[in-house]
Amino acid sequence: MSTFRTFRAPDTRSALAMVKAALGPDAVILATRDVDNGLFRAKEIEVTAALPDAPAQTKALPAKAYNPPAPLRSLPTPAPTPAPVPVAPRGTESNDELQSLRASMEEMRRELRRMGSQVRMERELKLPPPAAEVLTRLVNRGVEESIAEDCVRTALTRAPNASLIASVRSALNERITTTRAPWQADGKKQRVMALVGPTGVGKTTSVAKIAARALMESKQKVALITVDTYRIGASEQLTRYGEIMNVPTAVARDRSELTRAIARASNADLILIDSAGRSLPEAVARQAELLRSVEGITLCLTLSACIGPREMAAQAERYRSLSPERLLVTKVDEAVGPGSLLSASTRIAQPIVAVCDGQRVPEDIHALSGSDLVELVLGERRSLSIGAR
């Protein structure tokens, strides 16, 4: 018995790939038509194919196996004489088309979620459609909804007749402050900076990046100290970085050892202290007590941008008791929405010294201006290294 099959796909190429995979290289195309799936589903192409020995008359087909094609709207009518489908390697092309179809479906889902979120914001927050669209964009970029709404409403109040996105950009810029990067020399006395924050945010790697930039760009003398005696191999990792850069390293387990280590590095322009990642409030308090017991240490809170705005806000609140003077944001390259950095800068109300976007030492750390960070939040910045200070 002859084999007739009907296939549906998002485009002609995908449909032909399905024909070849199911019926083989001898299959012929009998008919094609557009299929309208309604408002919320994309149009499809329906292709009817058969093996060469199948009769071409529609009346001979089993009723359940074949439905006559509807009049065509956009595709050309097939030639009267069916032509063999060209042979293509099986497997690879089908997998590629399947991946493309999955990507298209995911993009459609994202767009539907975006549209639903925008409609909800228009109704619940009583915002005009353009403002709701900008608010949705900010939330999708990782900005906390309360912060995003405040920026949008501020923009609407201040400049109702101006460009809304320009006004929002100005409102965002007011919430982000920056300061001199730690590796940039300022001609003052010795500086001591300790990186603190949760485990896994990249403090040790960030210490190495800052040290390398200070050595190569500012020609400063650098010393490294770790107070991380909790993690196995933590001191060895920092020592290895010190050996590569030919800078002294030390391990301090308490206040007296930390004081002596800083004293031994008296000829260094910049002393960088690596600390253990802590999460429990009592552990954070003990760490603060150790670092604050030595005068002159600047605490730099280090947080990962890829954890999302709610967790970023929670971690900033947890470490606010340390009264950090600086903020360093890591893993920007892994973040779906880097706008979460606003959640931290709002809570601790301190300037951002740098952002990190990879593991390379020292390339993947950048000191950006406030306007640069706004572009990063809005998704308008393609490269962190371009225009970095």
| pLDDT on residue 131 | 84
| pLDDT on residue 303 | 94
Residue 318's nearest CA partner among 187, 172, 201 is 201
Across-strand partners of 300?
195, 326
Who contacts 133 (Cβ-Cβ below 8 Å, separation ≥6)?
118
Per-residue pLDDT of the chain (389 residues; tens, 9 = 90+): 345 788 888 888 888 888 888 887 777 777 788 877 665 567 788 888 887 654 444 444 444 444 444 443 333 434 444 445 455 455 555 666 667 666 666 666 555 555 555 455 555 566 778 888 889 889 998 899 999 999 898 888 876 656 888 888 889 999 899 999 999 877 778 899 999 998 889 999 999 999 999 999 889 999 999 987 766 566 788 888 889 999 999 998 889 999 999 999 989 999 999 988 776 777 778 888 888 888 889 999 999 998 888 899 999 988 888 889 999 999 998 888 889 999 999 999 999 999 999 888 888 999 998 889 999 988 876 666 544 44
Q: Please report, for the chain, the start and end positions of each structural domain, with discontinuous segments joined by +.
A: 4-88, 107-175, 191-378
Across-strand partners of 47?
7, 32
| pLDDT on residue 190 | 86
| pLDDT on residue 16 | 83
For the 191-378 domain, the top CATH level (class) is alpha beta
Per-residue model confidence as pLDDT tens digits over 115-167:
555 455 555 566 778 888 889 889 998 899 999 999 898 888 876 656 888 88
| pLDDT on residue 270 | 94
| pLDDT on residue 40 | 57
CA distance 305 to 284: 20
Who contacts 149 (Cβ-Cβ below 8 Å, separation ≥6)?
125, 135
CA distance 336 to 351: 23
Per-residue model confidence as pLDDT tens digits over 174-202:
989 999 999 987 777 889 999 999 888 99
Question: HEC states along 322-383?
Answer: HCCCEEEEECHHHCCCHHHHHHHHHHHCCCEEEEECCCCCCCCEECCCHHHHHHHHHCCCCC
Question: HEC states along the chain?
Answer: CCCEEEEEECCHHHHHHHHHHHHCCCCEEEEEEEECCCCCCCCEEEEEEECCCCCCCHHHCCCCCCCCCCCCCCCCCCCCCCCECCCCCCCHHHHHHHHHHHHHHHHHHHHHHHHHHHHHHHHHCCCCHHHHHHHHHHHHCCCCHHHHHHHHHHHHHHCCCCCHHHHHHHHHHHHCCECCCCCCCCCCCCEEEEEECCCCCCHHHHHHHHHHHHHHCCCCCEEEEECCCCCCCHHHHHHHHHHHHCCCEEECCCHHHHHHHHHHCCCCCEEEEECCCCCCHHHHHHHHHHHHCCCCEEEEEEEEHHHCHHHHHHHHHHHHHHCCCEEEEECHHHCCCHHHHHHHHHHHCCCEEEEECCCCCCCCEECCCHHHHHHHHHCCCCCCCCCCC
Across-strand partners of 352?
178, 327
